[in-house]
Chains A and B, each alone.
Chain A
């Protein structure tokens, strides 16, 4: 069956992330000057240009910064998933990533809980990094 949920409009600044996901890698960016890590064109240093930013593979480990449990879907394509969890995860490297935490027990989730990445291949063209609770 065709994938009916929204697909990202991949641009030159996010292509590494989505291409990395296809290879089961969580790719994020790092400022070579400050060492700060980020995702999606967050420079975190006003004087940094493209030449000083590098992509690298993150550990895929992090903790829940905040989250919500959707009791109503973001459109019909998500209806069957309700309730599902959307979270902002602080990765070990310091970058924050917006993603799903996939769990059978959304009511048990807590801020600060440890999570790790897995890769959900939803079509030949798209693999989505998602997270699950550790332990």
Chain B
């Protein structure tokens, strides 16, 4: 028994104009996503014996006890594994890594990773208003629009050190929109140009509105189980071959080098090592694109190009449909959806690409995909490597 962990079902919550349909709650969307993802595999909630969840819903602090509330709400009987790791939008990728270890060790067999958000419907996002606590007591007092201002400081530093520019970042927004145009579920599908990005509303220099992720509702589910269990299921297993996670700072001021995403360097190095794969083996990258700069930093950190070479990697729409390297093929947080904590969607899309069910946006011959989630203000990171092949 190898107990090789794999993904066997995924689902994302339908949104229209950035919002879930009326009558939905933050819990019901997670139930619907769980049912859909389980049904894709031919499983039901009765098969589930572990769950992980992160989000921003419910009472703050420990009051919400998200994994416990979802155990109750979904009617899961005595789960053997609960994970409420809540380290920003990367959390779900960390959950997949944790699930890998728990499944592999025999602690549990079939688990759900869950996410739901109604931030658009609830109009709960703003650039300020976070508590001026701990290391945030300095930037909140200074009026740093959060998180965008923090990412902007990283962008300026990257420009300074490596000669990247607003045009570099615009390349990423444009190519991501071109992928969104091929995804019927994406919120924004009309093509944009480099000039559109550069002429969009300045938010915090050097980032413009079109450098920023959307603010939408949304949610999703990823189902993981063992290779042995997957033999009887309707989907082919998408193997989780490696994972890694790390964190450096909570506040951008304490990021060791703002031009270099060391958390992603560490987490991806661990994932590549475990998977027996390297960056050059990757056929697809799903990178959390909270902002265009997040992608530029992550491409370099994952070793898809050298440090400071991101500007050449994305130049001339190399990462757009038909380009040399497929990146964020669902349209990303920039154009598909961004409910606040986007990390789960990197794995949902990668699994669908590996199954070959992506329709107009399907990439040919995808065997290995890397998913990377970033949380906070470039604070935490999680990487998983997914593959159609075990060896």
Contact = CB atoms under 8 A, between A and B. Distances in A.
A13 to B, nearest CB: 9
Interface in A88-135: 88, 96-100, 106, 111-112, 128
Given A67-B153, A67-B156, A72-B204, A8 B143 contact: no
Most buried by B among A41, A65, A74, A75: A74
Interface stretch (B30-38, B51-59, B128-136, B172-180): B128-136
A98 B139 contact: yes
Given A7-B141, A9-B133, A128-B141, A68 B253 contact: no
Interface of A: 5-11, 14, 39-42, 65-78, 81, 84, 86-88, 96-100, 106, 111-112, 128
Given A6-B132, A8-B132, A98-B251, A86 B143 contact: yes
Nearest to A72: B203
Interface in B136-187: 137-146, 149, 152-154, 156-157, 160
Contacts of B153: 66-68, 86-88
16 contacts: A5-B143, A8-B137, A9-B137, A11-B134, A40-B134, A68-B149, A68-B152, A68-B156, A68-B205, A70-B204, A72-B203, A73-B127, A74-B143, A75-B143, A99-B142, A128-B142
B126 interface: yes
B73 interface: no
Given A6-B128, A66-B154, A88 B258 contact: yes
B252 interface: yes
B135 A40 contact: yes
B137 A70 contact: no
Given A7-B132, A88-B253, A71 B202 contact: yes
B238 to A, nearest CB: 39
B131 to A, nearest CB: 7
Contacts of A88: 153, 252-253, 258
Interface string B201-239: 111111000000000000000000000000000000000
A125 to B, nearest CB: 12
A81 B142 CA distance: 11
A67 B157 CA distance: 8
Interface residues of B, number: 37
A84 B152 CA distance: 14
Contacts of B251: 98
Interface of B: 126-129, 131-135, 137-146, 149, 152-154, 156-157, 160, 201-206, 251-254, 258
Nearest to A126: B141
B106 to A, nearest CB: 35
Contacts of A39: 138
Given A66-B258, A68-B156, A97-B253, A73 B203 contact: no
Q: Shortest 3 CB-CB distances between A and B: which pairs?
A: A75-B128, A8-B137, A74-B128
Given A5-B141, A9-B132, 16 more contacts: A6-B140, A11-B137, A39-B138, A40-B134, A68-B206, A69-B205, A71-B204, A71-B205, A72-B145, A74-B140, A75-B126, A76-B128, A84-B143, A88-B252, A98-B139, A111-B156
B139 A86 contact: yes
Contacts of A99: 138, 142
A73 B144 CA distance: 8
A99 B258 CA distance: 16
B252 A98 contact: yes
A93 to B, nearest CB: 15
The interface centre, meaning the residue of B126, B133, B143, B205 with most chain A CB atoms within 10 A of its CB, is B143
A111 B160 contact: yes
A73 B128 contact: yes
A70 B149 contact: yes
A75 B132 CA distance: 13
Contacts of B258: 65-66, 88
B196 to A, nearest CB: 17
A98 B128 contact: no
